Amino acid sequence: MIVSRSVIHVDMDAFYASVEEKYNPSLKGKPIIVGGSVKNRGVVTTASYEARKYGVHSAMSVFKAKKLCPKGIFLPVNMARYKEVSKEVHNIFKRYSKLIEPISIDEAFIDTTGRDPLFIAKKIKEDIKRELNLTASIGISTNKFLAKLASDIEKPNGLTIIREEEAIEFLKPLPIRKLWGVGPKTERQLHKIGIYTIGDLQDYDIKVLVDRFGKKGREMSYFSKGIDNRPVEIDITTQSIGEEETFREDISSVEILIQKLQEYSLNLSHKLEAKGYIARTITVKIKYEDFSVETRSSTLYIPTNDYLTIYSTSINILNNKFNSCKKVRLLGLAVSNFIYPNDPVQLSFPTK
Residues 6+ apart with CB under 8 A from 141: 7, 147, 149, 150, 161, 162, 163, 164, 167
DSSP symbols for 288-331: ETTS-EEEEEEEEEEEE--HHHHHHHHHHHHHHHS-TTS-EEEE
Q: How far apart are CA 239 and CA 4, in angstroms?
A: 29
| Residue positions forming the annotated binding site | 11, 106
Q: Which residue among 21, 50, 107, 263 is the active-site one?
A: 107
Q: How far is residue 102 from each of residues 98, 190, 287, 297, measured CA to CA in Å?
A: 12, 30, 26, 24
Q: How far is residue 286 from each of residues 42, 101, 243, 334, 336, measured CA to CA in Å?
A: 18, 27, 12, 12, 17
| Residue positions forming the annotated binding site for Mg(2+) | 11, 106
Q: What are the DSSP E strand ranges found in 136-182?
A: 136-141, 159-161
CB 62 within 8 A of CB 44: yes
Query: Is 273 a catalytic site residue?
Result: no
Select from 181, 110, 135 the least CA-distant residue to 28: 135
β-strand partners of 7: 111, 141
CB 298 within 8 A of CB 252: no
Residues acting as catalytic residues: 107
